[in-house]
Amino acid sequence: MPDQKYFLDLNDLQYKQVRVPWKKRLFRIFLWLVCTTGITIIYGTVFERMFGSPKENVLNQQIENLKIQYTLASLEMENHFKTIESLKVSDEVRYRPILEMDSIPQSIRNPGFGGVERFRELNGYYNSSMMKSFRIRIEEMKNMTNIQTESFATISEMTAEWKDEMDHLPAISPVDPKYRMGDGFRFREVHPVLGYGRPHYGQDFYVGYGTKVYATGDGIVINTGRNSGGFGNVVVVDHGNGLQSYYAHLSEIRVPKGMNVKRGDCLGLSGNTGLSTGAHLHYQINKFNRPVNAIEFFNNDVTEEEFNEMIEAFSSKSIYR
């Protein structure tokens, strides 16, 4: 029960209940609502200024979390840039010079980003400048990565071509290096058979009769059999790029014309056929049909053991046994 107020009516000396007019009651209710609302607004404003609203606090926390994530992503991105830069150095300093490839211009590796309207969709945000700078770095990374990927693809293609060229190059001795070399690329004043001066265009090896003779590089056998020019039994291998190797005075030929051979394949056995005074191998290289010094194409410093290991390794990969 609400408290009731009474007053003494002196006219009849009785206590009567105080009755408040409804207008006054309505005014009191209104005044109470105004005061309560005012106090609530004042309290809320003071509290929000001092501590912030719950929603604002959540948003501020999310912003701080995003800043931390941006910072971590930026650090990780810089590490990726260092990795790309390391790949670039390997590209420019190691691979391209070896393959005799031109360097990639800096204007292509690091192109500019123009246009004031670039990334305009990021305008109007609290951290627009930070987001734009981050996007620019991402674009730079994408460009550098694409350029480096294309560069390595080109290097891979060139490496395959270079390897194929190196495989075809007549780059090893045709016989075991334990055998002594004889006459080389020079003019001989007296030919041992003909008795007069004549150029010697090859490199002789003093090998015993029946010694294995190996292909010095990959190629295709373009000629075999008896040679009328004094080579006797000869095998000729075309290595491409204008290079051909000749293996002369053989006692036995073990490959047919038209056969593809690999470096280290046995082409035949040494002998004494043709213009020869004893068993030996005449090894000759022609470049675009002109004889060149064969000794310049191979390293004769390998040991007998190293040579045999090399021949065994070549033979294991060859389709010809």
Domain assignments of the chain as residue spans, ordered by start: 6-51, 77-114+125-168, 186-317
DSSP-derived letter for residue 121 is: G
pLDDT for residue 196: 56
**pLDDT higher at 117 or 123:** 123
Question: For the residues of 125-189, what is the DSSP string, one character each?
Answer: STTHHHHHHHHHHHHHHHHHHHHHHHHHHHHHHHHHHHHHHHHHS--S-SS-TTSPB---SEEES
Mean pLDDT score, 138-166 = 89
pLDDT for residue 131: 79
Residue for token digits 């990334």?
Answer: 119
Q: Is pTM, for the whole model, over 0.75?
A: no
pLDDT for residue 15: 67
Closest CA to 213 of 178, 175, 249: 175
- Name the range with the highest mean pLDDT among 43-47, 59-63, 120-124, 165-169: 165-169
- Band (103; pLDDT cuts 50, 70, 90): confident
**pLDDT higher at 198 or 191:** 198
Can you tell me the distance from the alpha carbon of 91 to that of 95, in angstroms, rounded to the nearest whole number?
Answer: 5
**Any idea of the CA torsion for 246, 252, 257, 259, to the nearest 10 degrees?**
-90
- Band (9; pLDDT cuts 50, 70, 90): low
- Name the range with the highest mean pLDDT among 23-37, 84-98, 167-181: 167-181
**pLDDT higher at 248 or 24:** 248
Secondary-structure class of domain 186-317 per CATH: mainly beta
pLDDT for residue 139: 85
Can you tell me the distance from the alpha carbon of 288 to that of 273, in angstroms, rounded to the nearest whole number?
Answer: 26
Q: Are 221 and 258 in contact (CB under 8 A)?
A: yes
Beta-carbon-side half-sphere exposure of residue 313 (alpha carbons within 13 Å) = 6
Closest CA to 218 of 163, 160, 290: 163
pLDDT for residue 319: 54
**pLDDT above 80 for 56:** no
Can you tell me the distance from the alpha carbon of 90 to that of 92, in angstroms, rounded to the nearest whole number?
Answer: 6
pLDDT for residue 174: 95
Residue 261: CB atoms within 10 Å: 22
Beta-carbon-side half-sphere exposure of residue 317 (alpha carbons within 13 Å) = 10
Q: What is the pLDDT of residues 161-197, one digit of tens each?
A: 888 889 999 999 999 998 988 888 776 655 565 555 5
Residues in contact with 92: Cβ distance below 8 Å, sequence separation at least 6, in sequence order = 103, 104
The single-letter code of the amino acid at 245 is: S
**Any idea of the CA torsion for 62, 64, 68, 69, to the nearest 10 degrees?**
20
- Band (1; pLDDT cuts 50, 70, 90): very low
pLDDT for residue 225: 92
